[in-house]
């Protein structure tokens, strides 16, 4: 199963209703703008710590601040929880 299929088919319908609307909006922006473009086509079993670390380091190299880049591992851990 791809990351995108899991997020849209399971994560969003089952996890989003437990969040405040503003938190849902933040998660949706992060998913749509960053995580789904980077990992959407990847199989869940192919996404590991190394792939996520490379993604974060790439974001930092492109000028994103640590405070912002630090949110990606947290969001991904929620998806995989």
Mean pLDDT across 54-80 = 91
Confidence at residue 14, expressed as pLDDT on a 0 to 100 scale: 95
Q: What is each CA distance from 41 to 2, 17, 76, in whole angstroms?
A: 6, 25, 15
Contact residues for 15 (Cβ-Cβ < 8 A; gap 6+)? 78
pTM, rounded to two decimals = 0.89
Give me the torsion for CA of 78, 17, 8, 55, rounded to 10°.
Answer: -30
Q: Over the stretch 29-44, which tens digit does the pLDDT of each residue have? A: 999 999 999 999 999 9
2, β-bridge pairs: 43
Q: pLDDT-based confidence at 18, cuts 50/70/90?
A: very high
43, β-bridge pairs: 2
């Amino acid at each position: 199963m791809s990351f995108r299929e899991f997020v849209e088919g399971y994560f969003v319908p089952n996890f989003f209703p437990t969040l405040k609307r503003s938190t849902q909006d933040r998660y949706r922006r992060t998913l749509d703008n960053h995580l789904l473009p980077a990992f959407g086509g990847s199989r869940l079993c192919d996404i590991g710590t190394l792939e996520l670390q490379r993604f974060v380091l790439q974001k930092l190299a492109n000028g994103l601040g640590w405070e912002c880049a630090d949110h990606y591992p947290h969001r991904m851990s929620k998806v995989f929880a």
